[in-house]
A and B are shown apart, each in its own frame.
Chain A
Amino acid sequence: MADKKKQHKNEELGREKLEDMLRKMQLIRSFEEKVAWFFSRGMVHGTTHLYIGEEATAVGATAALRDDDYITSTHRGHGHCIGKGIELNRMMAEFLGKSDGYCKGKGGSMHIADVRSGNLGANGVVGGGIPIAVGAGLTSKMKKQDRVVLCFFGDGANNQGSFHESLNLASVWKLPVVFLLENNTYAMSLNVAKSTAVSDLTERARAYSMDAHQMDGNNVMEVYHTVREAVEQARENGPVFLVSHTYRIMGHSKSDANRYRTREEIEAWKAKDPIPRFEQYLIEEHDFSREDVDAVGENARNAIEEAVAYAEQSPFPSIESIEEDVYA
């Protein structure tokens, strides 16, 4: 495995790809900061779940996919969307409930989807996307499409019946699905140690005869290589289970008093911020200069501002559109 990893590194991770990964991490960070900014000013209604601090997992994982592969996502889905290569303008428009948004303003933050490009959608129901990933894997297998499904879900979802039923089915049918559990320690207020009977979450996979690996979810290179292996294995031989260890820096949603954790814990994880860590790696190992990485961040912030400008000029959906799209 170690040799293969090296080989991938040399084959694919040229400067352009590495820069793209940093760019996407910065785009996610800036997108989320903008979302928080809108909420703090009461400019949007509803709720949202920020991905700040977890960017390496979405970016490392989606960087390992082919363009025609699928993803299923979660309520905390902005990062997965950007990783998969969504158009920022239309994503921001959807966040603001505008007619140019991916869901024509009907989905919002929790339901951004672009089925045509293989993004089967964020999901408001914890565990709701997991069986859908299995179904997409079934299509791929039945139609011999050779497409893999990367299924994101949280530690909270690993106690849903839908999770267990899906792992079993994918394994029995040897479907091309990579199950990626994002263990960010909490499901809302509940620590994974209190919700889940196994402390090593990869043991979940053993019950379904599935290979499993874990990774430092704040190390984008480690995520990339691990997912890359898993995706190839899934394409050839059936499902793989991965656990990414990371941490939710912000509150669960817009209303969270953080009563269930300590400031020290949050600060300790802030120190493991995946973005500066990746920048450091690029500077030390890949001849990036400080100016190079700073420019990537700057460009990302500009791209988000452009997306905001686009979204703000987009009209709200018309009242007549209320009854459209209920049926095909």
Chain B
Amino acid sequence: MREITYAEAIREAMSEEMRQNDDVFLMGEDVGVYGGAFGVSLGMVDEFGSERVRDMPISEAAIIGSGVGAAATGMRPIVEIQFSDFLTIGMDQLVNQGAKMRYMFGGNATVPLVVRAPEGSGTGAAAQHSQSLEAWFAHIPGLKVAVPSTPEDAKGMLKSAIRDDNPVVFFEQKLLYRKKGPVPEKEYTIPLGKARIHRDGGDLSLITYGRMLPLCLDIAKELSDEHGIEVEVVDPRTIRPLDRETLISSVKKTGRALIVHEAVTMGGFGGEIAAVLADSEAFPYLDAPIRRVGGLDVPIPYCPELEKQVVPTHDSVRSAVLELLDWEYGS
């Protein structure tokens, strides 16, 4: 299969949907001739023009809010927030308006909006440009929240998000933008709310999403090669809706669960996954506590040496896996 980058996959998804449906358009800061801060929409303005690839002033409340309004009245906007940290500025429009409209109007509104926003640390951009806030949005009924980890998923899930009649917050991974992966040339979509098992295994379920997936896959391969330990790597891909069944059945099989995400552990989405597992028929199968490895309980520091240490590392994830495998109750 041909390989393209995560950023190219996202661009393809948007372009294909825009070719098929005149109601779909893209707007955000510097999405036109600049091509977006990370080059995701590079060249799109040449094909679609500045009516459908619209540069916007730095006004995140209006970026999201006008997306909500256009979505509620017949368009299918994709809005880009340059860094997901700035979703905070448009929070009212997203959380109090867009997410609630359908329910509080008794079903007589539809808000087919996609909010794309890159997240994550590792770029040396410090505390205000590096957060992973996806759990906040998973807390909001009425929103869907996607966190794709491969180019193939990014493309297929974004196409589904654009076709979805609900507001979807689509968290892109800055550090994956340039990573290549196989992406089918033929048209396809990937449903929101369906997990993917990246690697089968019977010893432990390593549940992860976003930019931690490649790290977890490396560790799983290493443990298999070196020790014959078979770790099952499961990516929920969307955290709302959450594919509980796949997660639960994996843990029933392996009896051990480790959840890894970059976001701060405290209040992070791993807590929800742990609760879902503990409160399920997987519980009696557990041979060890459910464990989380997430970001330290601090903002992202600038100094590169510190920045590397605040998020899960190869060592911290690998030793958590080994610890759970060695777990003995009463020890």
Do A and B interact with each other, yes or no? Answer: yes
| Partner-B contacts on A (CB < 8 A) | 44-47, 97-98, 103, 105-111, 123-128, 156-157, 159-162, 187-190, 194-196, 256, 259-260, 316-317, 319, 321-323, 326
Q: Which 10 A-B pairs have the closest CB atoms?
A: A46-B124, A108-B302, A124-B128, A45-B124, A97-B303, A189-B34, A159-B57, A105-B303, A195-B57, A106-B301
Contact assessment for A46 and B30 in the assembled complex, using a CB-CB cutoff below 8 Å: no
Contact assessment for A127 and B58 in the assembled complex, using a CB-CB cutoff below 8 Å: yes
| Partner-A contacts on B (CB < 8 A) | 29-30, 32-35, 37, 55, 57-62, 85-86, 89, 123-129, 296-299, 301-306, 309-310
Partner of B86, one of A103, A125, A259: A125
Q: Nearest Cβ distance between residue A50 and chain B, in whole angstroms?
A: 16
Q: How far is the CA of A127 from the CA of B33 in the complex (A)?
A: 24
Q: How far is the CA of A126 from the CA of B61 in the complex (A)?
A: 13
- Chain A, Cβ-Cβ closest to B299: A326
Chain B residues closer than 8 Å to A194, beta-carbon distance: 55
A contact patch SS: loop
Contact assessment for B58 and A159 in the assembled complex, using a CB-CB cutoff below 8 Å: yes
Chain B residues closer than 8 Å to A187, beta-carbon distance: 29, 57-58
Contact assessment for A316 and B303 in the assembled complex, using a CB-CB cutoff below 8 Å: yes
- Chain A, Cβ-Cβ closest to B124: A46
Contact assessment for A323 and B296 in the assembled complex, using a CB-CB cutoff below 8 Å: yes
Chain B residues closer than 8 Å to A103, beta-carbon distance: 302
Q: Nearest Cβ distance between residue A73 and chain B, in whole angstroms?
A: 13
Contact assessment for B59 and A160 in the assembled complex, using a CB-CB cutoff below 8 Å: yes
B contact patch SS: loop
Q: How far is the CA of A46 from the CA of B60 in the complex (A)?
A: 23
Chain A residues closer than 8 Å to B296, beta-carbon distance: 322-323
Task: State whether A126 and B58 are in contact (beta carbons under 8 Å apart), knowing that A317-B306, A321-B306, A322-B309 are contacts in the complex.
Answer: yes
Contact assessment for A326 and B298 in the assembled complex, using a CB-CB cutoff below 8 Å: yes
Contact assessment for A46 and B302 in the assembled complex, using a CB-CB cutoff below 8 Å: yes
Contact assessment for B30 and A190 in the assembled complex, using a CB-CB cutoff below 8 Å: yes
Chain B residues closer than 8 Å to A156, beta-carbon distance: 57-58
Contact assessment for A105 and B57 in the assembled complex, using a CB-CB cutoff below 8 Å: no
Contact assessment for B306 and A106 in the assembled complex, using a CB-CB cutoff below 8 Å: yes
Contact assessment for B310 and A111 in the assembled complex, using a CB-CB cutoff below 8 Å: no
Q: How far is the CA of A157 from the CA of B59 in the complex (A)?
A: 8
Partner of A319, one of B37, B59, B123, B306: B306
Task: State whether A323 and B127 are in contact (beta carbons under 8 Å apart), knowing that A97-B304, A188-B30, A190-B30 are contacts in the complex.
Answer: no
Chain B residues closer than 8 Å to A161, beta-carbon distance: 59, 61-62, 89
Contact assessment for A105 and B302 in the assembled complex, using a CB-CB cutoff below 8 Å: yes
Q: Nearest Cβ distance between residue A185 and chain B, in whole angstroms?
A: 14
Chain B residues closer than 8 Å to A97, beta-carbon distance: 302-305
Q: Nearest Cβ distance between residue A19 and chain B, in whole angstroms?
A: 34
Task: State whether A108 and B126 are in contact (beta carbons under 8 Å apart), knowing that A97-B304, A319-B309, A323-B298 are contacts in the complex.
Answer: yes
